[in-house]
Amino acid sequence: MKEIGTISLERMNNGAHYMYLLLILEKAEADATLKTKVSGLTADLREAVTKEDECLKLSQKSLLSDKIQAADGQRDALYSGYKKGVDGYADFPVAALAESAKVLAQHIKDYDIDPKMQLDKETGLLINFIADLEGKFAEHVTALALTPFVTNMKTANEAVRSLTASRTDERTVVEVGALKKARAASDTAYKNLVKMVNALAMVEGDANYAAFIDYVNTEIVHYKREVLGQTASKPGEGADISPDNNDERPGEL
């Protein structure tokens, strides 16, 4: 009699765990016999795998991180351009312009902003730095025609500030241990499905379940070899998917 073998789901990395269960789920949902016999269990697995996918996505790098990096790079480039603009007037033959450059150069030195510093620290310093340039040093900025640098630097800095705040909000909605709980729920749903399919194959004969059982066993061998680093033989080659000391029987929940 055919039956689905065992595999240590808890030992898989997050990506492999999700993909393995998704493959089994899709195969089960496409099987005509299982649609009739175990529709409730496949629905449970679908719900669990969907939740796991949501948690997996939230646990990975926020998509906002790329936008933050881009905005940070933009403001750093503008800050660098502003500094070069000030430096360019340091020895200017027009005394008034050279004096404006001297004042702004000292302002740069006072803040000592390093684009490589911690992201939020740079954001905070730039807020005050730019406020000075728009306020008490506005006359000097205008004299050196550096207003476009200041305006665009402010826009980029505000973008970083807004995006980092949004990323923080995004992360706070992720429940601590949510992915671990979701994986456990998926494991339970999977084992319930496997246990029922094996029971049906034993009671009714495996003719109507052979295709699904063979598919799952093939994936088990593949994941044991490629993901878990275990020795496993192809289905039909003797003790192909027998449990090892790290496997859990499908019925042990």
Average per-residue pLDDT for the chain: 88
pTM above 0.85, yes or no: no
Question: Is the pLDDT at 210 greater than 50, yes or no?
Answer: yes
**248 confidence band (pLDDT: 50, 70, 90):** very low
**216-243 average pLDDT score:** 76
Question: Is the pLDDT at 252 greater than 70, yes or no?
Answer: no
Question: Is the pLDDT at 224 greater than 90, yes or no?
Answer: yes
Can you give the pLDDT at residue 176? Answer: 56
Can you give the pLDDT at residue 245? Answer: 39
More confident residue, 232 or 107: 107
| Residue 22, C-beta contacts closer than 8 angstroms, at least 6 positions apart | 49, 53
Question: What secondary structure, in 3-state letters, does the chain show?
Answer: CCCCCCCCHHHCCHHHHHHHHHHHHHHHHHCHHHHHHCHHHHHHHHHHHHHHHHHHHHHCCCCHHHHHHHHHHHHHHHHHHHHHHHHHCCCCCCHHHHHHHHHHHHHHHHHCCCCCCCHHHHHHHHHHHHHHHHCCCHHHHHHCCCHHHHHHHHHHHHHHHHHHHHHHHHHHCCCCCHHHHHHHHHHHHHHHHHHHHHHHHHHHCCCCCHHHHHHHHHHHHHHHHHCCCCCCCCCCCCCCCCCCCCCCCCCCC
Q: Where exactly are the structural domains of the chain?
A: 1-60+204-253, 64-172
**246 confidence band (pLDDT: 50, 70, 90):** very low
Residue carrying structure tokens 């025609």: 145
State the Cα–Cα distance between residues 99 and 92, nearest whole angstrom: 9
pLDDT in tens, 58-79: 655 565 778 889 999 999 999 9
CA Rg value for the chain: 31
**94-107 average pLDDT score:** 96
Percent of the chain predicted with pLDDT > 70: 86
Question: Is the pLDDT at 251 greater than 70, yes or no?
Answer: no
pLDDT in tens, 135-193: 999 999 999 999 999 999 999 999 999 988 877 766 666 555 788 899 999 999 999 99
